[in-house]
A and B are shown apart, each in its own frame.
Chain A
Amino acid sequence: MTPASTRRDFLSALGGGIVVLCVIDEPADAQESGRRSGGGDARPAEISAWLHIGEDGRVTVFTGKTEVGQNIRTSLTQAVAEELHAPVESIKMLMADTGLTPFDMGTFGSRTTPTMAPQLRKAAAAAREALMDLAVSEWKVDRSTVQVVDGKVTCNGHAVRFGELTHGSQFVQSIQAEPKLTPTLEWKVAGRTIPKVDGRDFVTGRHRYSTDLKRPGMLYGKVLRPVAFGAKLTSLDDSSAAQIPGVTVAHEGEFAAVAAPDAETANSALAALKADWKSEPQPSDRDLFAYLKANAEAGEDRDARGSVEKGMAEADHKVTATYTIAYIAHIPLEPRAAVAEWNGDKLTVWTGTQRPFGVREELASAFQIPEERIRVIVPDTGSGYGGKHSGECATEAARLAKAAGKPVKVVWTRQEEFTWSYFRPGGVIDISAGVRADGRISAWEFHNYNSGPSGMQLTYEIPNRRMVFHPSKSPLRQGSYRGLAATANHFARESHVDDLAQAVGIDPLEFRLKNLKDERQRAVLQAAAEKFAWGKHKASGLSIGFEKGSYLAMCAEVAIEGGRPKILRVVQAFECGAVVNPDHLRNQVEGAIVMAIGGALFEQLHFADGKILNPMLSRYRVPRFSDVPVIETVLVDRKDLPSAGAGETPIVGLAPAVGNAIFAATGKRLRSMPMAGALS
């Protein structure tokens, strides 16, 4: 298909009304929102989102982004309502369906608010202008007398609904130029708290997650898992499983799985598979940090300025230390799940993922079929935290559905999720730094082994610096996690900066301010310190951070109870430009703080010989009600700055603030995450 005919087909499918297309014309923009390079798409590739106002006046917004609890279904609706001058209730977001929505690279990296929201705002503003144009030509009036208010087009007391102006025709508009957007200070709908748009579906249990879906004739699938990571299947006897009535066995290379009319039969069939595996010895978590350093690459300098040697020579005090970070699991409460259905050579999969188009690509490659024969639909999902980028469960369900000739649902058990998903990388961080007696940091050398380069950058003014990320051989499958390595790098950096302050005998707040010029960084630090009443509490610590366009500062107060740190109170000041929905932003900040408690204090995967040793919630502690301190958030609303995403960065400040508070309370510097065990 040529691009022109693709666009024609796609538009005719939309029907009458007003269509506004967001056209990507900037290469940089295209990269951010994930413009695809190849063909094979059923819709025009250069369009990142579109908005349709039907003849019935209903507004539908199409975007490939996924809702995983970050409440973008609500915030994007607000963005459209603001510019379209239409009630929030009249707008429906159609999200993350590769058969209906435009291509999108995925929902990660806190990109929805800075990238997708402005595009939708522009589309809505263009739609509003188009409605006014239609009114002007129909009513033969001066444009200055026409207004769009509360979902209606009005002129001299006359008001009509949006749909009445199009009379069954289709008006198509592409926006490439900048339409006039409402200045942040004049926002009426955006910038305010509105409740989750479909909240009622969640408190009534009506919302159907992937795990809840059923298709006619659907079977339940179970996959045979290797005895250890990387184990090879040497033999499989499926004869007894295949004899169970209703059971289909699928066996292809290393993949062996069963499907049955009910989950119990599927479990029995799985247990009846007799398999032999060959596995190799593998490193354990006890050897992890030595292993990561032994297998590290030289890496590349991320930020090298001045001369570290010179800076160290100028220093009056030098501090060198090593920090370690354990592997941890995401544990989205909804495990991986998929329902797959073949109709002839076409495949439809419902699955919880942050990358519907990525999963489509995985399926296309697994079955060697073109992407346009595959549709991936993502119901609003039971969270991801960076852990649902991949489509292994979708592929498993599709393989089984193909073998059985019926739709198949696969839901991973918690143990499978703990073992066969991927994890936040463990890592080792070495820091050497020098400080002058006047409190100026003169040298900073930072090496991260394996955990990642995110959040390594400094907002401190340090003239001599060298920062290197060393990829290593990872003993476990690792991948994205909320905030990536920024948590590890902030933990190491902010703990180390506290040591430098201690070395020169300057208060940690004063010491940081002495080394900071960045106004946004200073502003959040001062806001947090003021709210916390820094200096009035003994066992307290602080941290600062900057990542993905957002700034934060945290203060924490702890108590040591029975050899265990207990976090009593935390304050976080957070700034991500103009605030879109204050309450949902607060919710993200609070949630990230609570999630961070786990990695800071007690979350840790134990493993040996290719097996996770604590793959269940009774052996892997996650934060619960009793772990939650008093949480106070200060949102620094910068209406003069573009909005940045906020789903990730609020997680990075807790561990170092708590570590620094533990140091203040006990004099013990804890340099390994999780920290809880080290005091007893």
Chain B
Amino acid sequence: MGHGVPTNLSAAIYPTFNSPFSPAALSLVHNEGMAQVTELHVNGTKHRVNASSDRSLLSVLRDDLDLTGAKYGCGEGQCGACTVLLDGQAVRSCITRISAAAGKRITTIEGLERNGTLHPLQEAFLETGAMQCGYCTSGMILSGVSLLAQNASPSEAEIVHGMQGNICRCGTYPRIVAAVRLAALHQKTIRRAS
């Protein structure tokens, strides 16, 4: 039976996502002299922590501060489920040491809602039904918020490019694209009105 034996790794044929969030890049900002981190600014509040500086931001947020909206998905910055914002910029908290987050404004999904009002992108996710199991949703929303902060009206191609590092295994990508577009539209309307 002459069936073909796979000789090529699928990863070689379809190069996997090239993560800009490599642990090596983050280690450059790691301060070797700092053994403990004692304070983090999360969602507008200063939190006291007592964590060794090389721990991941994800573990400190989840285990120490009980902010579990950021999820563990892969531990290598490939899936984006752990995404949070550092000074408004999306980072992969699973490969970000807390030494790199100390002194910066950290925003997690729990901090997006203001006085009971959802962020326009949270609203847009609900409106477009952009989830199934919801496990990727926090990371998707924060990646989207970061994208919209840099580009207020992204094209579809720009959204695809900007969100490429986030995986939705349930496959709701087209709806997530629609949600980001919708939020951009809403924000534009809000800006015009104000």
Using CB atoms and an 8 Å cutoff, list the residues of chain A in contact with chain B: 68-71, 195-196, 199-200, 202-209, 211-212, 214, 220, 262-264, 285-287, 289-290, 293, 322-324, 326, 331-335, 380-383, 385, 411, 413-414, 428, 430, 564, 583-584, 587-588, 590-595, 601-604, 606, 614, 616-626, 628, 631, 671-672, 674, 676-678, 680
Contacts and interface: CB of A to CB of B under 8 A. Distances in A.
A interface SS class: loop
A603 B175 contact: no
Contacts of A619: 9, 11, 16
Interface of B: 1-14, 16-17, 19, 52, 55, 59, 62-63, 66-76, 78-79, 81, 108-110, 112-113, 118, 122, 125-126, 129, 131-138, 141, 159-161, 163-164, 166-177
Interface centre among B73, B76, B78, B133, by most chain A C-beta atoms within 10 angstroms, is B133
Given A616-B76, A625-B177, A677 B10 contact: yes
A324 B169 contact: no
Given A331-B169, A428-B1, A595-B170, 10 more contacts: A203-B125, A205-B69, A206-B110, A209-B71, A333-B135, A333-B136, A602-B10, A604-B9, A623-B171, A680-B8
Nearest to A322: B3
Given A204-B112, A428-B3, A617-B76, A676 B10 contact: yes
Given A331-B169, A595-B169, A383 B109 contact: no
Contacts of B177: 625
B78 A680 contact: no
A617 B15 CA distance: 11
Contacts of B176: 625
Contact of B173 (A203, A413, A594): A594
Contact of B79 (A202, A333, A413): A333
B3 A672 contact: yes
Contacts of B79: 333, 617
A323 B166 CA distance: 33
B1 A293 contact: yes
A618 B173 contact: no
B164 A626 contact: yes
A655 to B, nearest CB: 14
A590 B129 contact: no
A592 B71 CA distance: 23
Most buried by A among B4, B8, B122, B169: B169
A625 B140 CA distance: 11
A324 B171 CA distance: 25
Contacts of A594: 171-174
B14 A196 contact: no
A71 B134 CA distance: 10
Contacts of A331: 169
A383 B135 contact: yes
A676 B14 contact: yes
A602 B141 contact: no
Q: Which of A211, A564, A625, A680 has the most CB of B within 10 A?
A: A625
A602 B14 contact: yes
B125 to A, nearest CB: 5
Of listed B11, B66, B113, residue having the most chain A CB within 10 A: B11
A331 B19 CA distance: 19
Given A333-B169, A414-B75, A617-B167, A583 B129 contact: yes
B129 A671 contact: no
Given A212-B68, A591-B170, A619-B11, A69 B134 contact: yes
Contacts of A196: 126, 129, 131
B145 to A, nearest CB: 12
A650 B167 CA distance: 20
Contacts of B172: 587, 590-591, 594
B13 A676 contact: yes
Contact of A602 (B13, B66, B125, B136): B13
The 3 closest A-B pairs by CB, nearest first: A205-B69, A594-B171, A69-B133
Contact of B8 (A290, A588, A622, A677): A677
Nearest to A429: B3
